[in-house]
Structure 1
Amino acid sequence: MTFEFKKIIDAYFEAKSHKLDCVLSTVVHLEGSSYRRPGVRMLIQSNGKMIGAVSGGCVEQEVKRQSDSVFETSISKVIKYDGRYRLGCEGVLTILIEPMRLDDSFLNIFRTFLEERRLFKIDTSYMMEVGVNQILGSSIVLGDKIYPLSNRNANLHDVESVEVFSQILKPCFRLVIFGSEHDAVQLCQFGQIIGWEVIVVSDLKSSKTINDFPGASVFLTVENGAFDVSLIDSQTAIVLMSHNFAGDLKNLLSLIHSKPVYLGLLGPAKRRDQLLSQMLEYLTEDISSDTFFDRIHGPAGLNIGAETPQEIAISIISEILAVVHQQNPMCLSEKLGSIHA
């Protein structure tokens, strides 16, 4: 969700530069099932533009209509949206709509947190009862600094019936692609579409640039596996897909001390076995088998019959998501209970 909130912040300051007022809507509570869970947000600008979403598209117009009074009064309000009778979603959403006001000083600190890949928190106070209340609203917590979205000075702990929805946001998920061929371009595009920060790593012989990779945030050229492993953390997935055995081997060796959540090897099982065998021959130190090697997935991707570069990219991204969310891939029609359970 961090990338969604980043888009909202960017859109807010862009609107502010054009002297447009904004309100923020946040799903703070859910009874039953819904397309999205609590913590999703949508920014509404005074010109009617909406950034983000709080559902699959069925709730947004009602939230926009309800936001008119918040623009007029600058007072937060709680609304409920009952999808049981309108949508068949079997869910009742409690949504807080609040005026959004952030000082310019916030932006640089927020961007620093994103660049340094630090956790941050959003606390949203609300009531379950529908109505307006000027003490309700959100605060963004960046380290020891707290940034209220609106001017609220009340001590919420002294107010009955006020609840707080707290959300810890992790760094944006990062995908590092070693390779610059056509299939790497497709994987880069799909990664960017779902909100990942994509880094493409190529060798010095390649003539490609970042312009050849729509959606890439960084394009690096490295020699002999000289990759900076400090770019890799537990919120990072890696895919080796250079189509060059020696290149993949060098890159694999350079990653030996990294701890990505996922490390995918493109190609058949035979190629994987050869890579790992060669890697073990070159190693001059013992590597615990339950750490680095357990993160390796090869051949990369889920078995969905993928043939084209686009389908292969979807297969790989699907496996990464399954690993990150610790899920055993299956058809939802065969899953018992809640989709999000």
Structure 2
Amino acid sequence: MKEITRIIAFYETLKRKADVACALAMVVYVEGSSYRRTGARMLVSEDGFWEGGISGGCLEGDALKKARMAILKSKPELVRYDTTKGDDNQIGVGLGCNGVIDVLFIPVDFENENNPIEILKKSFENNNKPLVVITNSLKEPELLGKLFYFESKQSIDFLKNHLDVGLFSEEILALEKSKNYNIDNELRLFVEILPKPITVYLFGNQYDIYPLIELLKMLYWEVRIVSEPNKIQNRENLTIIAPSDFSENLLNKNSAALLMSHSLEIDKKNLRKLTTSTVKYIGMLGPKTRSERILNELAAEGTKIDSNKIFAPTGLDLGASTPEEIALSIVAELKAVFSGRNGGFLRERELPINERNQEIFKFN
């Protein structure tokens, strides 16, 4: 989310200048290993500046040239980088990535309210609606690079000559992750499911919440502090919710809650409120015996608790001791939980680090 936010900010700067053209480079297909996955993007200005990235740095140099060419031609272009071949003329050879990466370069027209960055902004403003980009079109080449966000079947009505709009709309609505589609071997689409923003609710006002706030802001996650406002330092640019105003209805499956009050009774009271919410993660600061006491007392009074949501003590086992180290262990565990990972050592992982898109799904 941070990268997209910075790309949009860079775009706004270029738009105000109005005399520096730019192009969007977007990874739309990956097969095998690569540093970045589908949806990675960078915005390149014709004067050689850029924001974002499509690799670990190995492809950016060539991407600058390709982006400038797209600007010059005022025409999108799909470029394949194949680092699996031993061709010395192939960009990326010798890096050991062993992957195939398709990058779509789309020139950005500031005057067009439906240019790719404006569409990205609109998707954000509409609860991260799925993005659809046409990555190949044999019969209608002018469709290459068309990018739009999906809101209803009317969004893809112009594709009715290629597919069943109603069925494909249902397909998009059911997606949980990005996919590539091949339509009758003449049209390829990349449907990107943008991640929903993660909101972390911090229940507490002691000094150890501040390193957490800094780390979460660095990730561009949303932070909500549940506390009496007058107990929070440097309240500017912070969202603070008074305990009397807090409701479990504020939480959803993209939310996490951290109980950090340092008061057993207050943490127990807050946990009681959270048990009926749809929150994905509830972390409890402090030793295991303390958490077990709170959970046992709530169980004794008849409060039902989903133990799968409870992480007590909160955080990964990093040997953390200072507030900053504890914040790191908590944020690392949050990331692991929301990514569906266990948070172990990567050297012990038998599967690839990232899921590999080795299939283009057919739809006809």
The TM-score range, normalised by the shorter chain, is 0.7 to 0.9
- In structure 1, give the amino acid aligned to 2:337: V
Question: Within 2, Cα distance between the matches of 1:144 and 1:110?
Answer: 13
Instruction: Report if aligned partners of 1:139, 1:146 keep a CA contact under 8 Å in 2.
Output: no
In the alignment, structure 1 residue 125 sits paired with structure 2 residue 144? no
Residue 136 of structure 1 and its aligned partner are, at CA, apart by 0.9
Asked whether the equivalents of residues 171 and 235 of structure 1 are also in contact (C-alpha less than 8 Å), the reply is yes
C-alpha distance 5-37 of structure 1, shift in aligned 2 (>3 A):
same
CA contact (8 A) 2:44 2:50 kept: yes
The structure-2 alpha-carbon separation of the partners of 1:88 and 1:275, relative to structure 1 and needing over 3 Å to count, comes to same
**Structure 2: gaps of 5 or more residues:** 85-92, 163-182, 356-364
SS at match of 1:143: coil
- Distance in 2 of aligned mates of 1:135 and 1:108: 21
Q: 2:240 aligns with which of 216, 220, 238?
A: 220
Question: Which residue in the other structure is 1:201 paired with?
Answer: 226
Q: Which residue of 2 aligns with 1:214?
A: none
Corresponding residue for 2:348? 334
Q: Answer with 321-330 or 137-146: which moved more.
A: 137-146
The change in CA–CA distance for 1:99 and 1:51 in structure 2 (over 3 A counts) is same
Answer whether contact 2:41 2:54 (CA < 8 A) is retained: yes
CA distance in 1, matches of 2:254, 2:241: 22
Question: Aligned partner of 2:216: which letter?
Answer: G
User: Secondary structure, in 3 states, of the residue corresponding to 2:332?
Assistant: helix
User: 1:227, 1:251 within 8 Å by CA — same for their partners in 2?
Assistant: no
Structure 1 residues without counterparts, runs of 5 or longer: 212-216
Shift of 1:235: 0.9
Q: Sort the Cα spacing of 1:58 and 1:202 in 2 relative to 1 into closer, same or farther, 3 A.
A: farther
SS of residue matched to 2:331: helix
Taking a change above 3 Å as real, the CA distance of residues 137 and 339 of structure 1, as seen in their structure-2 partners, is same
8 Å CA contact 1:83–1:89 kept in 2: the answer is yes
User: How far apart, CA to CA, are the structure 2 residues paired with 1:187 and 1:66?
Assistant: 40
**Shift in Å, 1:272:** 0.5
C-alpha distance in structure 2 between counterparts of 1:324 and 1:184, whole Å: 20
Partner SS, residue 175 of structure 1? strand
Letter in 1 for 2:196: P
Match of 1:99 in 2: 107
Preserved CA contact (<8 Å) 1:3 1:172: no
Q: Contact between 2:25 and 2:103, CA under 8 Å: does it hold in 1?
A: yes
Residue 51 (1) aligns with residue 51 (2)? yes
Match of 2:329 in 1: 315
**How do 1:1-341 residues align onto structure 2 when only pairs under 5 Å count?**
2-19=1-18, 20-84=20-84, 85-101=93-109, 102-103=112-113, 109-110=122-123, 112-113=125-126, 118-127=127-136, 134-144=142-152, 157=162, 161-204=186-229, 206-211=231-236, 218-223=238-243, 226-280=245-299, 287=304, 289=305, 292-341=306-355
Distance between the aligned counterparts of 2:37 and 2:5, measured in 1?
18
Whole-Å Cα distance in 1 between the matches of residues 296 and 40 of structure 2? 46
**1:324 is aligned with what amino acid?**
F
Partners in 2 of 1:281 and 1:168 — Cα distance?
43
Question: Against the structure 1 CA distance between its residues 230 and 49, is the aligned structure 2 distance closer, same or farther, given a 3 Å change threshold?
Answer: farther
CA contact (8 A) 1:135 1:156 kept: no
Structure-2 change in CA distance of 1:94 and 1:109 (3 Å):
closer
Structure 2 distance, partners of 1:154, 1:16, is 31
**How far apart, in 2, do the equivalents of 1:146 and 1:21 lie?**
31
Q: CA 1:169–1:110 in structure 2 vs 1: closer, same or farther (change >3 Å)?
A: closer
TM-score, normalized by length of structure 1?
Answer: 0.82
Q: Distance in 1 between matches of 2:312 and 2:192?
A: 34
Q: Distance in 2 between matches of 1:9 and 1:67?
A: 17
* TM-fit CA distance, 1:154: 8.7
Identity of aligned residues (%): 30
SS of 2:341 mapped into structure 1 = coil
Secondary structure in 1 aligned to 2:30?
strand
CA RMSD, aligned part only? 3.0
Deviations 1:58-78, CA, capped at 9 Å, x for gaps: 221211111111111210011
Q: TM-score, normalised by structure 2?
A: 0.77
Q: 1:93 to 1:112 in 2, by over 3 A?
A: closer
- After superposition, the Cα gap between the structure-2 partners of 1:244 and 1:146, relative to the gap in structure 1 and judged at 3 Å, is farther
Does structure 2 conserve the Cα–Cα contact (< 8 Å) formed by 1:140 and 1:146? no
